[in-house]
């Protein structure tokens, strides 16, 4: 890869590297609806003994979407390509990839393509397929996904406007403020719509069986987006994987139960 290419990738995905450069590399990938800020409560706790890599998917946060190629991002493979390009640009090896929500599957795709780069996968609230199919319960019908896309359209205006950072009632967590920038959870509405479509209409069930790197699945007790039976399915499909059910509800334990998430990551890696 040329120098110019390296710079482009790191700029394109707004890659930030922090933490301990001598520690193992942790790459955090955000899910649908936010940007790398979503790791604000998890990543800092791992910085003392890890090299922490954060990035924004194309169209999210501080990414540079000027070169957005609709064709490339028509499937999650395009996003997995970005991940591999970032690892290439950073010359990162033995990577522990931590993916939330749809990024869990993006990590699976990337690790299946170049397993040698990855030491482990940590999948938080993964779902290989959101839409129900014969004998498979993803939790949603096609009509539900269409309704989401409509609902994204209804929120189009709000999304294109830049959201100013504003923190309420978190005096104990000054680290939140440190990371907040203008790009805070900003989404390009058009790309976000396409990302939603690709995410919620994807079917990556067959990719799970091809995973060869050690994998941890973190699942919330109740999660409307990735129900427990989906977590069980992922766990059963990835040979040798470990499943931990967090004592948390909802789809974003990385924000609602960050300490538990950190504890499980540490235990799995030790």
Which residues make up the interface to other proteins (CB under 8 A)? 31-34, 37-38, 40, 70-71, 74-75, 101, 140-141, 143-155, 158, 163, 165-170, 176, 180, 184-185, 197-198, 200-202, 223-225, 249-252, 255-256
Shortest Å, Cβ 31 to other proteins? 7
Closest to other proteins by CB, 197 or 210: 197
The nearer residue to other proteins, 89 or 124, going by C-beta atoms, is 124
- 217: β partners: 123, 243
Least separation in angstroms between residue 108's CB and other proteins is 16
Find the catalytic residue in 35, 40, 101, 127.
101
In whole angstroms, the minimum distance from the beta carbon of 28 to other proteins comes to: 14
Between 4 and 168, name the residue whose CB sits nearer to other proteins: 168
Beta carbons of 216 and 261 less than 8 angstroms apart: no
Least gap, CB of 150 to other proteins (angstroms): 6
Token pair listed for 46: 């791992």
Angle (nearest 5°) at CA 167 between 18 and 249: 80
C-alpha–C-alpha distance, residues 16 and 52, integer Å: 8
Residue pair 17/53 in contact (Cβ under 8 Å)? The answer is yes
Which of 30, 57, 235, 251 is catalytic? The answer is: 251
Q: Which is nearer to other proteins, 6 or 249 (CB)?
A: 249
Q: Residue ranges of the alpha helices (H) in the chain? A: 3-12, 43-46, 76-90, 102-113, 142-154, 156-160, 174-179, 189-200, 205-208, 228-237, 253-256, 258-269
Structure tokens at 27: 């790459």
| Residue closer to other proteins (CB basis): 21 or 158 | 158
Distance CA 211, CA 152 (A): 33
Alpha-carbon distance of 127 to 18, in angstroms, equals 29
CB of 268 to other proteins, least distance (A): 24
Q: How far apart (Å, rounded) are the C-alpha atoms in residues 251 and 229?
A: 14
Residue 18 annotated in active site: no
Q: How far is the CB of 27 from other proteins (least distance, A)?
A: 19
Choosing from 50, 223, 235, 241, which is the catalytic residue?
Answer: 223
3-state SS assignment for residue 164: coil
Let me know if 151 is a catalytic residue.
no
Q: Which is nearer to other proteins, 199 or 241 (CB)?
A: 199
Q: Is 251 a catalytic residue?
A: yes
The SS3 of residue 36 is: helix
3-class secondary structure per residue, 184-209:
CCCECHHHHHHHHHHHHCCECHHHHC
Active site (catalytic) residues? 101, 223, 251
């Amino acid at each position: 890869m040329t120098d110019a290419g390296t710079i482009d990738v790191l700029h394109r995905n707004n890659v930030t590297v922090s933490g301990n450069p001598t520690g193992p590399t942790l790459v955090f990938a955000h899910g649908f609806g936010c940007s790398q800020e979503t790791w604000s409560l998890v990543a800092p706790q791992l910085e003392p003994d890890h090299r922490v890599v954060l990035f924004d998917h194309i169209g999210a946060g501080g990414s540079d979407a000027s070169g957005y190629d609709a064709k490339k991002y028509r499937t999650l493979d395009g996003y997995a390509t970005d991940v591999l390009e970032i690892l290439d640009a950073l010359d990162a090896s033995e990577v522990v990839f931590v993916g939330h929500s749809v990024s869990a599957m993006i990590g699976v795709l990337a690790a299946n393509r170049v397993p040698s780069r990855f030491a482990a996968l940590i999948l938080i609230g993964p779902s290989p397929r959101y839409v129900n199919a014969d004998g498979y319960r993803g939790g949603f019908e096609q009509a539900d996904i269409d309704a989401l896309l409509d609902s994204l359209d209804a929120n189009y205006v709000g999304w294109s406007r830049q959201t100013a950072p504003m923190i309420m009632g978190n005096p104990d967590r000054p680290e939140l403020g440190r990371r907040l920038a203008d790009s805070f959870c900003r989404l390009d509405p058009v790309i976000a719509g396409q990302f939603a479509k690709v995410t919620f209409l994807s079917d990556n069930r067959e990719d799970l069986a091809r995973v060869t790197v050690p994998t941890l699945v973190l699942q919330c007790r109740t999660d409307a987006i990735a129900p427990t039976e989906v977590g069980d399915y992922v766990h059963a499909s990835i040979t040798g994987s470990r499943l931990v059910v967090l004592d948390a509800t909802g789809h974003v334990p990385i924000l609602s139960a960050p300490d538990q998430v950190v504890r499980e990551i540490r235990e799995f890696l030790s």
